[in-house]
A and B are shown apart, each in its own frame.
Chain A
Amino acid sequence: MNEPQAYPTKASIFAYFAHQATPLERQQIESWLTTDQGATLYFTYLDEWERQHPQFQPDLNRAHERFTQFMNKTNQVSESGHFNAELLLSEPLLTVQSKNWLRSYGWLAMAASIVLVGGLWLSVEFWYYTTWSNGYHQLQSIQLPDGSAVELGAHSSLRYPRFGFGWGTRHVWLTGEAQFQITHQANAQRFQVHTPDQTIIEVLGTVFVVNSRRNTTRVMLKTGRISMTTPQSNQPLMLTPGDLVTVTVGQTLHKQKADTLSAQVTWHDHQFVFHDTPLQDIVVQLHDTFGVTVQIPQTELMNRTVSGTFQAETAADLLQALKLMMNLEVDDSPTGFTLTQSIQ
């Protein structure tokens, strides 16, 4: 066709995506796709059309969190050596079996087994450990193989060895927040909780809460006796019931009596207890528990304190209660909530 091209309109392209284009429109689009402009614009329109006609609503936050975790992990892997980077590059996208492939490219099988071994090594986290993860809004009770009970908080995960848990010291790894109720073993076997900032909490039989987020670990002991070691401390710190210890990266341990600080231990009943808690701390808790962003533009409002017990299953519930109590304006936008003092 040498005659000047007639470009299809956006409307007919959208009709084409919806399988409603006429044969003539189709033909127009087919020849338009052979032009540079068409080949690029096609995807621009496809994207626009897809945004207008979503087929379902995937959970972006959850997927995004997994993706950033993946990026953080693999970044470290490729930084640790050239060999690993090569290994990753030779791994096929999807593992699909084909007889032909094996026969004619026998040497590739060798490369594949290297990839497999490497893959096993890289995926050691997956097959060696049992992992429990919670999304936002989720709470979960976990029974460990030794009978210890764990209440895993929202947006948290707990990992322990799939095999041999309970032979020797029991090790678990926690990100986020959880309450542990450890069973005492006859042979006085130890139980250790590891957190991302390298803090180790060691236990005999006891009940305690660990919150480890943003490089800070908070431990509250309810009953029993535990000892803690951190990368900064040389000798373990002993805790007695009621103690609340905060560990921040690059700083020393901070120990206080937690008699008025039950705020941290009631989240597993969807309950929030505040005792003169500044609004800015509540915002942080909201983020940890529900994954929502709350902004407070006014500094003086950030420092206002709240006391009381709130039953809230969603962030909106809690904000609604705070709104009524403190006479606030709550602004709900797609990026998060904004709190302001309402003007009388």
Chain B
Amino acid sequence: MAPVLPFDLPGDNFPQQLHPDQDAGAVPPKPDDELLIRHAFQTDPYQGCDLLFRRYYHPLCSQAVRFVYDKALAEDIVAELFQTFWQKRIYERIDYSYRAYLYRAVRQNCLLYLQREAGQTISTEQLIPSDLLIEPVSPSDQIQFDELNERIEGTINALSPPVRRVFLLSRFEGRKNQEIADELHISLKTVEAHVTKALALFRKVLLS
């Protein structure tokens, strides 16, 4: 029987207290725009997961594809994230923001995927993103992700236009080399060479 503590009461001016001297440009959104989803999780986790999925599936896929540059893979990563979210009842342990968790976890899983693709060994503690739950956010993390993303984009932009075109068709669209050759009216050999070249460069980004 826990007594009701006076400081348990939600303070009306809580958001203002937190950041007293903020710039007019960065007005925070409504205190909790995830309130509805949070309520849904309390009464029916199934409903909550359903709402989260519908709400964040699209933007999370878009975020993931910026890292992996593969449509199907991005969708798989996001779908798998939601499956784990449901299966391991991660929602029970989130008390800050579902959105922040989902974006961080998607980024983390994309990175893991890319590292594995580049043939790097991954330590055990990196494997389970449960640390995402314990410490709220380490600021430098997200900056590193943004920088990685910038490097990936830079690398792809630096490809010569024909190589880039083949690379995107092959990796992003997941098309077969023969299909690309037929569509662009170039030889299968050229397609293969372009894809190899682009993939090698793409992997190098991760090692830098």
With an 8 A cutoff between CB atoms, is B18 at the interface?
yes
- Looking at the complex, which one of A32, A37, A53 makes contact with B62 (CB distance below 8 Å)? A53
Contacts of B41 in A (CB 8 A): none
Give complex CA distance A17, B25 in Å.
16
Mask of A50-92 contacts with B, CB within 8 angstroms, 1/0: 1101111110100110111011001100100000000011001
Mask of A192-231 contacts with B, CB within 8 angstroms, 1/0: 0000000000000000000000000000000000000000
Is there an interface contact between A19 and B96, defined as CB atoms closer than 8 Å?
Answer: no
- Looking at the complex, which one of A7, A32, A54, A88 makes contact with B87 (CB distance below 8 Å)? A88
- Looking at the complex, which one of A7, A37, A101 makes contact with B124 (CB distance below 8 Å)? A101
Which residue in chain A gives the minimum CB-CB distance to B60? A50
Which residue in chain B gives the minimum CB-CB distance to A74? B87
From residue 45 to 86 of chain B, which have CB atoms closer than 8 A to chain A?
A: 46, 49-50, 53-54, 56-63, 65-66, 71, 74-75, 78-80, 82-84, 86
Contacts of B186 in A (CB 8 A): none
* Chief secondary structure at chain A's binding surface: helix
Is there an interface contact between B109 and A94, defined as CB atoms closer than 8 Å?
Answer: yes
Is there an interface contact between B58 and A58, defined as CB atoms closer than 8 Å?
Answer: yes
Is there an interface contact between A93 and B127, defined as CB atoms closer than 8 Å?
Answer: yes
Is there an interface contact between A50 and B59, defined as CB atoms closer than 8 Å?
Answer: yes
Mask of A4-21 contacts with B, CB within 8 angstroms, 1/0: 111111111100110100
With an 8 A cutoff between CB atoms, is B121 at the interface?
yes
- Looking at the complex, which one of A33, A44, A54, A64 makes contact with B142 (CB distance below 8 Å)? A33
Contacts of B65 in A (CB 8 A): 55-56
- Looking at the complex, which one of B100, B103, B123, B149 makes contact with A98 (CB distance below 8 Å)? B123
Which residue in chain B gives the minimum CB-CB distance to A39? B137
Contacts of B71 in A (CB 8 A): 56, 58
Give complex CA distance A89, B88 in Å.
6
With an 8 A cutoff between CB atoms, is A30 at the interface?
yes
Is there an interface contact between A5 and B21, defined as CB atoms closer than 8 Å?
Answer: yes
With an 8 A cutoff between CB atoms, is A167 at the interface?
no
Is there an interface contact between B75 and A63, defined as CB atoms closer than 8 Å?
Answer: yes
With an 8 A cutoff between CB atoms, is A47 at the interface?
yes
Is there an interface contact between A56 and B61, defined as CB atoms closer than 8 Å?
Answer: yes
From residue 139 to 172 of chain A, which have CB atoms closer than 8 A to chain B?
A: none
Contacts of A64 in B (CB 8 A): 50, 53-54, 57
Q: List 18 A-B contacts (CB under 8 A).
A: A4-B21, A6-B23, A8-B26, A33-B142, A39-B137, A40-B100, A43-B99, A44-B28, A46-B103, A54-B62, A56-B61, A56-B62, A56-B65, A58-B58, A63-B53, A64-B57, A75-B46, A93-B84
Binding site for A on B (CB under 8 A): 18-19, 21-23, 25-26, 28-29, 33, 46, 49-50, 53-54, 56-63, 65-66, 71, 74-75, 78-80, 82-84, 86-88, 96-97, 99-100, 103-104, 109, 112-113, 116, 121-124, 127-129, 136-137, 139-140, 142-143, 146, 149-150, 153, 172
Q: A32-B26, A60-B57 are in contact. List 17 more A-B contacts (CB 8 A).
A: A7-B19, A19-B153, A33-B137, A35-B19, A37-B22, A42-B100, A42-B137, A43-B103, A47-B59, A50-B60, A56-B62, A57-B58, A63-B78, A64-B54, A66-B79, A96-B112, A105-B124
